[in-house]
Amino acid sequence: MQTVFEKQLELLKNNQKSWLVTGVAGFIGSNLAEFLLKHNQKVIGLDNFSTGYRDNLDDIKKSVSTEQWKNFSFTKGDIKNYDICETVTKDVDIILHQAALGSVPRSIDDPITSNLSNVTGFLNMLTAAKNNSVKRFVYASSSSVYGDSKELPKVENKIGNLLSPYAVTKYTNELYAGVFHKCYDVEPIGLRYFNVFGKRQDPNGAYAAVIPKWLSALINKKEVYINGDGETSRDFTYIANVIQSNILAGTTTNDKAFGEVFNAGIGGRLTLNELYNSINRELEENLENFTKKEPIYRDFRAGDIRHSNANIEKLKNSVGYEPTHDIDRGLKESIKWYIENLRATT
């Protein structure tokens, strides 16, 4: 029996729509664009390359056919510039808004810049969508919105005190989206991402996510650091599940989903210690001459949530979401990609 997602993919084959993907040169944006192009969709990409890379666009081109690539167009621009937002949202059917300055530590270091991209930029895109009559507006929120709430698993309507400027920006996005749905003819749907990982996620820089950062260090025989005691836990979500949640949110006919926000995770959790052991085990199986390395523990990181685990029933019931990749399957696919690509570049 076909899932809701499988049925939707069949419909996409013969029903080409125009999708705007902001942050298209980033990790999640580039994966979304590649998937859409492979399913006969037209993709307009926007990025300012502040955290995205031209190499990711080149990688998309290599991954799709010549005919599919013809359905892609790109604009270099910044969502902080309203005129750019106005231009790229013309003649668009669905917006997948991924552009943002991620990272809790980055926002603590520089809250003003995070606010400019994540709040001003978000409002620019939302307003441009309204003015150009683009109804469907799917946007990336974050599990950081749950703050110091100790409830597990996390349920959408129960959040705690926010712990970082980044969390404030994402919660502000949710508030704006809800108001735009009430005041204007817009159909926003928010997805609270839970520690997304997968191919093309940048392992470099001060704000790199933990999985690519550890993989890069271990493959290159460098030290690995764990913040805190390693018992911090996360609902690590493979990119394939996030792609599915975006496509379903972008195409759902359930009007009760509009103006709402949903957990986009897998509904499980792993401690950092467990994750580290899983990564080492996979590398031992897939990388010649690999020797497991003991991590170095250091202080907890400011603004971090202690435990994160998504209740995904709301997303399942509203749009038919069924995650296809658990943490183990996601890690196997990711590690294979990182071994091939990090070895090629180091």
Residues β-bridged to residue 141: 192
pLDDT at 343 over 90: no
104-123: string of b/e by CB count within 10 Å (b at 16+)? bbbbbeeeeebbbbbbebbb
Name the pLDDT band for 346 (thresholds 50, 70, 90).
Answer: very low
- Give all domains of the chain, ordered by start, each with its CATH number: 4-196+239-267+305-324 (3.40.50.720)
pLDDT at 142: 94
Name the pLDDT band for 15 (thresholds 50, 70, 90).
Answer: very high
**Residue 107 · residue 162 · CB < 8 Å:** no
Averaged pLDDT for residues 28-56: 97
47-70: string of b/e by CB count within 10 Å (b at 16+)? bbeebbbeebbebbeebbeeebee
**Percentage, residues of the chain above pLDDT 90:** 75
pLDDT at 340: 85
Of 82, 139, 146, 166, the catalytic one is 166
Give whole-number Cα distances, 3 to 9, 90, 105, 304, 316, in Å. Answer: 10, 32, 38, 35, 11
pLDDT at 61: 98
pLDDT at 305 over 90: no
229-261: string of b/e by CB count within 10 Å (b at 16+)? ebebbbbbbbbbbbbbbbbbbbbbeeeebbbbb
Q: What is the Cα–Cα distance from 279 to 328, expressed in whole angstroms?
A: 9
pLDDT at 174 over 90: yes
**Residue 144 · residue 170 · CB < 8 Å:** yes
pLDDT at 313 over 90: yes
User: How does pLDDT run across 327-342, given as a tens digit for each residue?
Assistant: 889 999 998 898 888 6
pLDDT at 310: 94
pLDDT at 245 over 50: yes
Query: When comparing pLDDT for 128 and 291, which is higher?
Result: 128
**Percentage, residues of the chain above pLDDT 70:** 97
Q: Rounded mean pLDDT of the chain?
A: 93
Averaged pLDDT for residues 138-152: 93
Averaged pLDDT for residues 41-49: 98
pLDDT at 131 over 90: yes
Query: When comparing pLDDT for 221 and 77, which is higher?
Result: 77
- Whether 166 is catalytic is yes
Peptide bond before residue 153 is cis, with ω within 30 degrees of 0: yes
Name the pLDDT band for 205 (thresholds 50, 70, 90).
Answer: low
Q: How many CB atoms lie within 10 A of CB 144?
A: 26
pLDDT at 41: 98
For the ranges 125-129, 274-278, 286-290, the lowest mean pLDDT is seen at 286-290
pLDDT at 300 over 70: yes
pLDDT at 209: 82
